[in-house]
Amino acid sequence: MRIGILTSGGDCPGLNAVIRGAVLKGMQIHGQEFVGFRDGWRGVVENDIVPLGRKDIQGIAKQGGTILGTSRTNPFEGNGGVDRITENLRSRGIDAMIAIGGEGTLAAARRLTDAGLKIVGVPKTVDNDLGATDYTFGFDTAVQIAVDAMDRLRTTGESHSRCMVAEVMGRHVGWIALHSGMAAGAHAILIPEQATSIEQLAVWVRSAYDRGRAPLVVVAEGFVLDHENDPHSERGLDAFGRPRLGGIGERLAPLIEELTGIETRATTLGHIQRGGTPSAYDRVLATRLGMAASDSVVEGRWGRMVALRGTDIVHVSFEEALGTLKVVPQNRYDEAAILFG
């Protein structure tokens, strides 16, 4: 059986470990042959592939990013579509696909599976926001990168008696903000699930400052102030029609300074959270998911995604994978809020 692998959407630490896990188990246990599509769905639509043999994947588990490249190409737009993709797979002798990606990637995979293509999925999102899996690879690394950056922001903030605002990823959910903020000792954590007033934020900042601390505020990119309806976006839409978020930290900084009189600076961590060497946890999880994806192909689990439940790898439908957003529950936020101010 010949299998095509693609990585689509935003990159994150651990993608290469998934590829390595799938290829090694597939070749050694199942006798499968692998190729990779360049740049996600773009490679599928344009019939652009590379070989994935043993030599091609050796030593890649510790590398960040993806050796296949990625993009946010919509496979149903332009020259894409079910017929074009089906013909490309036939011409290359590809029997099935392993699609590694987040919400947009898996939604496209679901449509193609419904049209008769043989696809299994592997969840990829640094935001850790897919309800069908307990954790996604890349999240642990992103949190540690954010904590390291905040530890550095704390020292410069303390030197100048400034309030520091650190903006982290988190379009719909605040898991990165919650975990990194708690670990870094933040005095306020702002997440999409909790609409907060600028006045309450100012109270937390002022309280920390009056105790002789340099306040640290952590904000997820999708956070919305209590009097607003939509997250801050000034960079247009992506290929799937979603707003490109970013910049809420820079917007909050002058508001904090105006209300508290405390000099405030903002830093957007952005793509730094996606890059670099994956943590040990993410390497192991990604490898296990890759191996399970290879098994899924053998077992014909089309239209299903591998997922982590507890310490076990399970299989869930694309419908279940896309059906529930894993938000930060109220009790977890209340737990963190004890540390604010």
282 included as an active-site residue: no
SS3 77: coil
Q: Cα–Cα distances in Å, from 158 out to 148, 151, 213, 254?
A: 16, 11, 7, 19
Residue 101 annotated as binding?
A: no
309 is known to lie in a ligand binding site:
no
Tell me: is residue 249 an annotated ligand-binding position. no
Which of the residues 127, 140, 282, 295 is marked catalytic? Answer: 127
User: Tokens in use for 108?
Assistant: 């496209």
Q: What phi and psi, each to the nearest 5 degrees, are found at residue 90?
A: -65, -45
- Are 252 and 265 in contact by the 8 Å Cβ rule? The answer is no
4 is in an annotated binding site: no
- Residue 324 assigned to a binding site: no
Q: How far apart are CA 295 and CA 312, in angstroms?
A: 14
Q: Is 242 annotated as a binding residue?
A: no
Whether residue 260 is annotated as binding a ligand: the answer is no
Distance of alpha carbon 86 from alpha carbon 323, whole angstroms? 26
267 is in an annotated binding site: no
Distances in Å between the alpha carbon of 157 and those of 145, 162, 214, 268?
A: 18, 5, 6, 15
Question: Is 274 labelled as part of a ligand binding site?
Answer: yes
Does the annotation list 33 as a binding residue? Answer: no
73 annotated ligand binder:
yes
104 is in an annotated binding site: yes
Has 234 been labeled as part of a binding site?
no
Query: Is 217 among the annotated ligand-binding positions?
Result: no
Q: How far apart are CA 13 and CA 276, in angstroms?
A: 7
User: Which residues share a beta bridge with 190?
Assistant: 219
Q: Side-chain half-sphere of 172: how many Cα atoms within 13 Å? A: 12
Cα angle at 34 between 32 and 40, to 5 degrees?
Answer: 140
Q: Is 193 annotated as a binding residue?
A: no
Q: What DSSP element (H or E) covers 103? A: helix 103-114
Does the annotation place 70 within a ligand binding site? Answer: no
How wide is the angle at C-alpha 51 spanned by C-alphas 49 and 300, nearest 5°? Answer: 80
**Residue 221 marked in a binding site:** yes
Strands 188-190 and 243-245, sheet pairing: unpaired
Residue 170 is assigned to a ligand binding site: yes
Q: Where are the beta strands (DSSP E) in the chain?
A: 2-7, 33-37, 49-51, 96-101, 119-123, 163-168, 188-190, 216-220, 233-237, 243-245, 264-268, 304-309, 312-317
**Binding site: what residues are annotated?**
10, 72-73, 102-105, 125-127, 162, 169-171, 221, 265, 271-274
**Binding site for substrate: what residues are annotated?**
125-127, 162, 169-171, 221, 265, 271-274
**Binding site for Mg(2+): what residues are annotated?**
103
Known catalytic residues?
127
